[in-house]
Amino acid sequence: MSESVTTSSTQRYDVILIGAGIMSTTLGAILKELQPQWSIALFESLDSAGEEASDPWNNAGTGHAALCELNYTPRGADGSISTAKAAGINEQFHVSKQLWSHWVNNGTLGDPRTFINSLPHISFVWGDENVQYLKDRYEAMRAEPLFENIEYTEDMDTIGDWAPLLTGGRDPSQPVAASKFDDGTDVDFGAISRQLAEHLQTSGLDLHYGYEVKDVSRTSDGQWNVRAKNSSAGEKLNASAPFVFVGAGGGALGLLQSSGIDEIRGIGGFPVSGQFLRTTDPEVAEQHHAKVYGLASTKGAPPMSVPHLDTRFVGGRRALMFGPYAGFSTNFLKSSSYLDLPLSVRPHNLATQLGVAAGNWELVTFLLKEVTKSQKKKLEELYKFYPDAPADAWEMITAGQRVQMMRKDENGKAMLQFGTELVTGADGSIAGLLGASPGASTTPSIMFRLLERCFPSKMESWRPKLEEMVPSYGRLLNDDPQLLQEVSSDSQRTLKLAG
């Protein structure tokens, strides 16, 4: 790769990043450390970084460490609780904390309080069957080194000590249970995106705010050409590079389709919007210091719609958020067009989309019910968690769009996927990210996977630097309790978190 060269109409770079959310800014900052001499351009259609799904009011800000989200520990057909998915996500969150610590230490990120705060992560259930599930989950989790700090109780008073809003006004005879980790976090991914974007700009990256990328296409010399337009200034930019990352969130599907790579064929996008109840009333917000996740009470509810009552720290202020309430809207980004869904339908993904629609009536019915739910009904959901909630303290806010991926499985069955999917072209010269949670919390691990897939010949020379950035790089902490202890206390100390 070479230094950037300006031609009459096309600026040449070593790397082009599209979108300034948590994904692209993280990849940019990693690449700047691994290859400081590479020229990098970043195109963002909005006027600032981290304003779409990564904005703190557009997501739930959970440092998804699988400490409280019950959908990561399902009960299997044999009745046992599987901790495999939770362990995988927790490992990835340790990687995130190590990288953020490295960046705090070298000044890439600022004061950790501006983007991460300590917060107990609690799971809370009611009803005999759910109490039994939580108890079995506790037994399964405490056997894993990653989760050995879990606490469990069925005692209403203890739950009241942990999170008083859950128990005030609750029927004392109701069977309840809760588990708790004190080392959970609340993360502002918008703040991380903005700090990384600022760092990248001062390190020489060409950041083009206000430029929407219209398409990505192959040139005859094997490069990727990116066409971008700033509509308000009436300006166009062309840029090319041997490697492009499409970190455009909900905009990624259309841009990957424009690239014509085989790997995007057959894939469709299903947008699910979300709303949260929010209060910034200090009298209410000061009484709760936790993220509390429950179980979905409605049949067909997708995994990302499990209810949770979260303390949030945004811009140094404390708030409470409850939700999400799922909704349906055909745009793929909060700021984009309602035509996104119809325009994403292509001959090669039509069968997948129809197959998913036909096979997911429970989800469709769930979404219809959610969309038509009255404010009163929405508050009733809150009262199940927080029986004494003052109705007038809450406002409804619209969260970011999640574009869930629709694709065919190996048996040709159309399915809807709820995770995050890294799509890479066969030659590794283009990559993009589709899907949603656990998304932001696991960004560093996703970006390291991208490097392994797209730059395999570089990995050996990059390894010492990668191990400096993430001391446990390539190793599983669950298999090495001593290393787990070391990296946990290092990142807790650097990020000023409770241990």
Enumerate binding residues for ligand FAD (CB under 6 A): 18-24, 43-46, 51-54, 58-62, 64, 189, 212-213, 247-249, 251, 255, 274, 324, 333, 399-400, 402, 433, 436-441
> What is the DSSP secondary structure assignment for residue 75, as one 8-state letter?
B
* 267-297: b (≥16 Cβ within 10 Å) or e: bbbbbbbbbbbbbbeeebbeebebbbbbbbe
Is the previous residue joined to 303 through a cis bond, with omega within 30 degrees of 0? Answer: no
| In the complex, minimum distance from the CB of residue 156 to ligand FAD, in angstroms, rounded to a whole number | 28
Identify whether the C-beta of residue 408 lies closer than 8 Å to the C-beta of residue 415: yes
Cα–Cα distance between 311 and 473 in angstroms, integer?
Answer: 31
Q: Strand pairing partners for 276?
A: 397
DSSP codes of every residue in 141-185: HHTSGGGTT-EEE--HHHHHHH-HHHHTT--TTS-EEEEEETT-E
Distance of CA 20 to the CA centre of its chain: 14
Q: Which is nearer to ligand FAD, 324 or 355 (CB)?
A: 324
Distance of CA 10 to the CA centre of its chain: 34
Q: Which is nearer to ligand FAD, 190 or 425 (CB)?
A: 190
Cα–Cα distance between 170 and 393 in angstroms, integer?
Answer: 20
Q: What is the CA radius of gyration of the chain?
A: 23
Cα–Cα distance between 420 and 94 in angstroms, integer?
Answer: 18
| In the complex, minimum distance from the CB of residue 249 to ligand FAD, in angstroms, rounded to a whole number | 3
Chain length of the chain: 499
Identify whether the C-beta of residue 409 lies closer than 8 Å to the C-beta of residue 355: no
Cα–Cα distance between 378 and 415 in angstroms, integer?
Answer: 29
Longest Cα–Cα distance of the chain, Å, equals: 76
| In the complex, minimum distance from the CB of residue 4 to ligand FAD, in angstroms, rounded to a whole number | 19
Cα–Cα distance between 332 and 272 in angstroms, integer?
Answer: 9
Q: Which is nearer to ligand FAD, 18 or 159 (CB)?
A: 18
| In the complex, minimum distance from the CB of residue 117 to ligand FAD, in angstroms, rounded to a whole number | 14
Closest CA relative to residue 160, chosen from 71, 292, 276 = 292
| In the complex, minimum distance from the CB of residue 339 to ligand FAD, in angstroms, rounded to a whole number | 14
| In the complex, minimum distance from the CB of residue 128 to ligand FAD, in angstroms, rounded to a whole number | 29
Cα–Cα distance between 389 and 380 in angstroms, integer?
Answer: 10
| In the complex, minimum distance from the CB of residue 461 to ligand FAD, in angstroms, rounded to a whole number | 27
Q: Which is nearer to ligand FAD, 150 or 403 (CB)?
A: 403
Q: First and final CA of the chain: distance in angstroms?
A: 43
Q: Which is nearer to ligand FAD, 294 or 438 (CB)?
A: 438
* 71-104: b (≥16 Cβ within 10 Å) or e: bbbbeeeeeebebebbbbbbbbbbbbbbbbbbbb
Is the previous residue joined to 164 through a cis bond, with omega within 30 degrees of 0? Answer: no
Q: Read off the tokens for 377.
A: 């009904």
Q: Which is nearer to ligand FAD, 140 or 341 (CB)?
A: 341
Q: Read off the tokens for 474.
A: 């390539």
| In the complex, minimum distance from the CB of residue 251 to ligand FAD, in angstroms, rounded to a whole number | 2
| In the complex, minimum distance from the CB of residue 269 to ligand FAD, in angstroms, rounded to a whole number | 13
Q: Which is nearer to ligand FAD, 18 or 166 (CB)?
A: 18
Q: Which is nearer to ligand FAD, 145 or 324 (CB)?
A: 324
| In the complex, minimum distance from the CB of residue 438 to ligand FAD, in angstroms, rounded to a whole number | 5
| In the complex, minimum distance from the CB of residue 64 to ligand FAD, in angstroms, rounded to a whole number | 4
| In the complex, minimum distance from the CB of residue 190 to ligand FAD, in angstroms, rounded to a whole number | 8
Q: Which is nearer to ligand FAD, 125 or 403 (CB)?
A: 403
What is the identity of the amino acid at 135? K
Q: Which is nearer to ligand FAD, 24 or 353 (CB)?
A: 24
Q: Read off the tokens for 53.
A: 């799904």
Q: Which is nearer to ligand FAD, 323 or 425 (CB)?
A: 323
Strand pairing category for 15-18 and 243-246: parallel
Q: Which is nearer to ligand FAD, 170 or 227 (CB)?
A: 227
